[in-house]
Structure 1
Amino acid sequence: PSASPTASAPADASPSGPATGQGRKLVTMTVTGGFAGVNRAVVVRGDGVVRTTDRGASAVHRASAAQLTRLRTLLADPALAGVPAFSLDGGAADTFRYTLQFDGRTVTTDRTADRPAMKRLIDALRVWLPGS
């Protein structure tokens, strides 16, 4: 069970900050595709600031301490090291494509492969996406 996201800053607040330290990006996830042509993103910084975008509209939230701890635990899962950079089923129609950037890596998946560590990470990030 995940805690729901909490709003903490106005949508026009700027979450940009230094590339190092607490203000650096912890993880970025972009979700594209599907029948409706979804284009959503979530960026979580080390200081807990979460920026979401959905077709150009953006919002800023604050991750709770528990959410941030859980996310860091998920990102530290050794099973993520075995996840390939691309895991896509070319025969699947209208699937969502998830592109995640973390720890200097970029991973793209459509979630058709059985990768529990990646599934847990995606599910943890999806709580902030509009319409999820």
Structure 2
Amino acid sequence: MIGRRTGTVVVAGVLGLAGCGVDGGGGGDGEAKGRTSAVGAPADRSPSVTPSPSPSPSPSASASASVGPSAVPVTGPDQKLATMTVTGGFAGVHRTVILRGDGTAYTSEKGEPVVRSVGADRFRELLTLLGDPALAEVPSFTRDMSARDLFQYTLTFGGRTVVTDRSGDEPALDRLIAALSELLPQN
């Protein structure tokens, strides 16, 4: 798994090799003075590369590009799109939400189950949050072991499980947790 900075360097390197500037310029005008290539050599000293008429991005470049999230596909009404369990805290919380492919959310708090419709707009929003490419960069385990009485969030989505106490800086994960938390029973 590559980090955000490594992904940026990979994209910059690919763009540099293709003769494009990282700043979006370099549209083939031949004026590369003042820019540097990915390896630090001035761009006007590197060999000229002519891009093909319709270049297809490499897998690493397309995965790291800053493309907005797209909704995850729904394969059936029984599909579990995301599961989040919140545990811990001083009072011993144990709350669960399961987002299903039919647009319903199964929620429970200490064993009291409730199934309700999420609503079309909220469901689309959740699918888009789940499709955020930044979630692929989130570590599987992030906890501040010295902190006490923090909630622990265990999320399963996209074939992986993430455990966090939200002590790390993970904006995509925080948005997903906030949206799923709105589905939980309110005390």
Scaled by the length of structure 2, what TM-score is found?
0.59
Q: Spell out structure 1 runs of 4+ moving beyond 2 A.
A: none
Q: Deviations over 1:51-76 (max 9, x none)?
A: 10100111111011111110111011
Q: State how 1:40-119 maps to structure 2 within 5 Å.
A: 40-119=95-174
Secondary structure of 1:42 counterpart: strand
CA shift digits 1:57-116 (9 cap, x unpaired): 111110111111101110111110000110000011100000000011000000010100
Residues paired across the two proteins, number: 113
CA RMSD in angstroms, aligned pairs only: 1.0
Q: Any stretches of 5+ residues in structure 2 without a counterpart?
A: 1-74
Select the structure that is richer in strand. 1
Alpha-carbon distance between aligned partners in 1 of 2:166 and 2:129, rounded to the nearest angstrom = 17
Q: Which structure dedicates a bigger proportion of its chain to helix?
A: 2
Query: In the aligned structure 1, how far is the partner of 2:133 from the partner of 2:120?
Result: 22
What secondary structure sits across from 1:60 in the alignment?
A: strand
* Map of 1:27 onto structure 2: 82
Instruction: Please say which structure displays the higher CA radius of gyration.
Output: 2
Q: Which structure has the higher relative contact order (CA within 8 Å, separation 6+)?
A: 1
CA distance, structure 2, for counterparts of residue 131 and residue 66 of structure 1: 21
Displacement of 1:49: 1.3
The unaligned stretches of length 5 or more in structure 1 are 1-19
Q: Which residue of 2 aligns with 1:12?
A: none
Give the share of equivalent positions with the same residue, in percent.
55
